[in-house]
């Protein structure tokens, strides 16, 4: 991906920072992904202490269908413009300090979406603005759901469940 340092071996906080500074020196923010589970927790503490923000990504596999129906009639396919607007809101909500890199993140979302031929699904609020989003991506053999988000004022209404259910049905 654009601007991503991917760590797959056990390492130290100092080594990660040195690699980020070496390879991402001219970029407005550093994006480091640590894959090795045995490394994550100690690095989280070190990054937090040093003032870095961090997040945990969850990977799940759909093992069986749900035992109850979920009404997905409110789900629509979002345009790229709608998707990008909602992604900008999500990014600024979670990372208000990345304003300088927001255009770069938007371009990243655009390029990555086109690469994976993603379909973006959403639910609109009463004013017709997207209130929730998810993306369905595929490499032609495996499909996956990516980026599930609901704006804070619309949470607790089952939108994420509707979106994920719709995407997995497809």
* CA separation for the pair 18, 20 (Å, rounded): 5
Q: Any residues with CB less than 8 A from the CB of 69 and at least 6 apart, and which?
A: none
Confidence of residue 122 (pLDDT cuts 50, 70, 90): very high
pTM: 0.70
* Furthest CA-CA distance within the chain: 51
Please compute the mean of the pLDDT values over residues 90-109 and round it to a whole number: 84
Has residue 37 got a pLDDT over 60? no
Pick the more confident residue, 52 or 29. 52
Task: Give the angle 116-131-109 at the CA atoms, nearest 5°.
Answer: 25
Please compute the mean of the pLDDT values over residues 19-25 and round it to a whole number: 87
Has residue 169 got a pLDDT over 80? yes
Residue located via tokens 């804070």: 152
Has residue 27 got a pLDDT over 90? no
């Amino acid at each position: 991906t654009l601007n991503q340092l991917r760590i797959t071996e056990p390492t130290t906080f100092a080594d990660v920072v040195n690699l980020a500074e070496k390879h991402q020196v001219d970029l407005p923010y550093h994006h480091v992904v640590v894959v090795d589970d045995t490394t994550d927790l100690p690095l989280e503490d070190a990054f937090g202490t040093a003032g870095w923000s961090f997040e945990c990504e969850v990977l799940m596999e759909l093992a069986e269908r749900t035992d109850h129906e979920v009404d997905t009639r409110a789900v629509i396919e979002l345009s790229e413009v709608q998707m990008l607007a909602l992604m900008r809101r999500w990014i600024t909500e979670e990372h208000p300090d990345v304003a300088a890199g927001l255009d770069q993140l938007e371009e990243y979302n655009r390029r990555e979406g086109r690469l994976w031929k993603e379909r973006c699904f959403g639910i609109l609020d009463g004013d017709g603005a997207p209130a929730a989003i998810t993306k369905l991506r595929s490499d032609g053999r495996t499909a996956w759901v990516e980026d599930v988000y609901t704006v804070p004022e619309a949470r607790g209404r089952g939108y994420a469940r509707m979106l994920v259910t719709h995407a997995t049905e497809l």
